[in-house]
Structure 1
Amino acid sequence: MSGGGKRGFVWWRGVFWGLLVLVLALVLPAHADIYRWVDDDGTVHYSNTPQPEASQRERRVFDSHGLMREIIPAPPTAEEREQARAEQEQAQQELEAARQARADQASRERQLRQAYENLDEIEELRARREAAIGADIARSEAQETTLLRERERIRQQYADSESASSRERFKVQLDDLEDRIARERAYRQGQEDRLSSVQQRLDLDREDYQRLVIDGEG
């Protein structure tokens, strides 16, 4: 079909459906609606009753004067319903997360207010904890130094001894010293880890106190 023939066909089809709407408007009661929809095969339908529920296409409602009164969108597909459900669940999760975050922040603020009067108290506590743990570390270092000197003395005695029984006794003493030195080093490592943990916690307390208590009051 040529371009002119196609345009003529489209024009006559439009006239036909327009006349059909006009005829329906004349034969139907004044208050009746006219429904227009396109089926799955692409065929346009006009009726005074809604399109079959099995159809998944958009409906257009005309009044008795042939004027479009309403567009009823096509019902959502299974995929669209699933997407809407997923979006609703996501929104609910985000809402719950925001609510929990507000509750956690309020709880954290109460905790800080109960623990400290001001930022200076946090720094004073830091100084006390660092001094106490630092003293434990220093004592452990001094004890290890003593044990190391004792180990060297026993090693020399072991090397100089010609008696099998003496060498066995020195060997037992050396094994005991090695264990004690290892325990001191493990203890000191634990204290150093404890000090780091205390410093990190107090850094966080200071940051949160500034943000939640001081800045929050402003």
Structure 2
Amino acid sequence: MVIWGVCNRKLSGLVCLAVAGAVLLGLAVPAQAEIYRWVDDDGTVHYSSTPQPETSQRERRIYDSEGRMREILPAPVSAEERAQAAAEREQAERALEATQRARQDRAERETQLRRAYASLDEIEELRERRERSIGGNIQRSEAQEKTLLRERERIRRQLDGANEDSRLADRYRAELEELDARIARERQYRRGQRDRLSAIHERLDLDRRDFQQLVLNGSR
């Protein structure tokens, strides 16, 4: 070899062997060899040409032959961390779905309002019409109850003047029961009408608010 020839001519045998060994060693180590730095569970720092043991739970740092850090490999994820990450992903997905549903509901609500009303004044006009209609129903029911109460009072006087054990008294009592039932129905009807009017006011208040926010303010 050339190395041995050079050594024989210029160097002594011992020096020649040392130089040849160093050259051969340099040839055996690749120029881009990776050096691994890792810390074990006891905190001890290790350097080696092989990765850290798989059982280690710490991060790994990879250096090149010139001592420059090339890459950081994170520590393996534990089962608890994987479960937490999965839970966080699921929560984020649910939040995204909720946001998308809210946007869709908002768009559908805006479309509904635009089809139903042309302005806020139209909402108030509808409110007034409903109030007049339901108010008229309540007034007619109140008038009907007054008529029934007068009829009830008349039959009550007849019952008081009749023989209690007579067939006529039995008829008066039956008529009174029928009148009481009709009066109760009128009162129940008016309660239902008032509940209906309250629900209409609540819905129209909501329509007015949403129309203001989604249609008027949203179009600016």
Q: SS of the residue aligned with 2:190?
A: helix
CA distance in 2, matches of 1:172, 1:93: 65
Query: TM-score normalized by structure 1?
Result: 0.82
Q: SS of the residue aligned with 1:95?
A: helix
How many matched pairs? 194
| 2:181 corresponds to | 179
Change (3 A) 1:26 1:42: farther
How many Å apart are 1:43 and its aligned residue?
Answer: 4.1
| 2:215 corresponds to | 213
| 1:155 corresponds to | 156
| 1:48 corresponds to | 49
Change (3 A) 1:26 1:207: farther
Q: Give, as a single letter, the amino acid of the residue that structure 1 aligns with 2:168.
A: S
| 1:84 corresponds to | 85
Deviation per residue, 1:105-131 (Å, 9 max, x gap): 111111111111111111111111110
How many Å apart are 1:167 and its aligned residue?
Answer: 1.8
CA distance in 1, matches of 2:159, 2:47: 112
CA distance in 1, matches of 2:29, 2:80: 39
Q: SS of the residue aligned with 2:33?
A: coil
| 1:168 corresponds to | 170
Tell me which stretches of 4 or more aligned residues in structure 1 moved more than 6 Å.
Answer: none
How many Å apart are 1:28 and its aligned residue?
Answer: 4.2
How many Å apart are 1:70 and its aligned residue?
Answer: 2.9
1:192 to 191, 194, 219: 194
| 2:35 corresponds to | 34
How many Å apart are 1:98 and its aligned residue?
Answer: 0.9
CA distance in 1, matches of 2:126, 2:94: 39
| 2:6 corresponds to | none
Change (3 A) 1:29 1:146: same
CA distance in 1, matches of 2:102, 2:137: 39
Change (3 A) 1:144 1:49: same
Task: Please provide the CA RMSD for this pair.
Answer: 1.9
CA distance in 2, matches of 1:119, 1:104: 21
CA distance in 2, matches of 1:97, 1:49: 49
| 1:7 corresponds to | none
Change (3 A) 1:151 1:28: farther
Please say if residues 133 and 191 of structure 1, whose CA atoms lie closer than 8 Å, have aligned partners that are also in contact.
Answer: yes
CA distance in 2, matches of 1:27, 1:152: 123
Query: TM-score normalized by structure 2?
Result: 0.81
- Could you list the runs of 5+ residues in structure 1 that have no partner in the other structure? 1-24
Q: SS of the residue aligned with 1:217?
A: coil
Q: Give, as a single letter, the amino acid of the residue that structure 2 aligns with 1:191.
A: Q
Deviation per residue, 1:56-106 (Å, 9 max, x gap): 221122221234333222121111111111111111111111111111111
Please say if residues 28 and 64 of structure 1, whose CA atoms lie closer than 8 Å, have aligned partners that are also in contact.
Answer: no
CA distance in 2, matches of 1:32, 1:177: 106
| 1:128 corresponds to | 129
CA distance in 1, matches of 2:197, 2:98: 33
Change (3 A) 1:116 1:189: same
How many Å apart are 1:149 and its aligned residue?
Answer: 1.8
